[in-house]
Amino acid sequence: MENIQEKLKLYLDLNKEITEFRKKQRDQKKIMEQLEKEIFDYMSTNNMDNISLKDGEIILYDKKISQSFKRPAIVEKLTEKLKCDEKKAEDIAESLLSNKVYSLEKKIKVNIKKK
C-alpha cells in the first residue's frame, strides 16, 4: 500500500495535470468558437445547409431556445402585481408556461464518420 506521502504527491501531480488540461481546453475552445463563427458566416453568405468532408460533414441547423420561466417566481409576481389570490395566479402561470415561446438560433455541428 502506498504511504500518505506518495498519495499526496500523486494528488498534487494529478491536480497540476488537470489544471493544465483545463487551460489548454479553454484555449482550444476560444479557437474553435472563432472557427465556428467564420464557418457559420461562410455557410450563411453562400446559402449552404451543409458541407460534406472526407471525415464527416458540417451542418447548419436551427437550435430551439426557450425563454426561462420559473413557476414559483411567476406565481409570486402575478400575485403581487395583480393583487389576486394564489389560485388565480397559478392558473395564469400555467397558461403562460403551456404557451411558451421559442426562438431559433442558427448553429453548426459536426458529424464525424465512423471508421
How far apart CA 70 and CA 68 sit, in angstroms, is 7
10-residue averages of pLDDT along the chain (115 residues): 84 91 97 94 94 91 75 79 80 78 76 72
Q: Are residues 65 and 103 in the same domain?
A: yes
pLDDT of residue 115: 66
Asked whether residue 82 is domain-assigned, the answer is: yes
pLDDT of residue 22: 96
Find residue 107's DSSP bridge partners.
61
The answer to whether 106 and 52 have CB atoms below 8 angstroms apart is no
Q: Are residues 43 and 74 in the same domain?
A: no
Asked whether residue 67 is domain-assigned, the answer is: yes
Q: Are residues 44 and 65 in the same domain?
A: no
Q: Are residues 78 and 36 in the same domain?
A: no
Q: Are residues 14 and 35 in the same domain?
A: yes
Q: Which among 66, 65, 67, 89 is positioned nearest to 77, based on CA atoms?
A: 89
Q: Are residues 114 and 65 in the same domain?
A: yes
pLDDT of residue 18: 92
Asked whether residue 56 is domain-assigned, the answer is: no
Q: Are residues 113 and 73 in the same domain?
A: yes
**Domain count within the chain:** 2
How far apart CA 65 and CA 52 sit, in angstroms, is 27
Find residue 61's DSSP bridge partners.
107
Measured in degrees and rounded to the nearest 5, phi and psi for residue 17 equal -60, -45
Q: Are residues 12 and 42 in the same domain?
A: yes
pLDDT of residue 79: 83
Range of the domain at 26: 1-48
Residue 88: CB atoms within 10 A of its CB come to 13
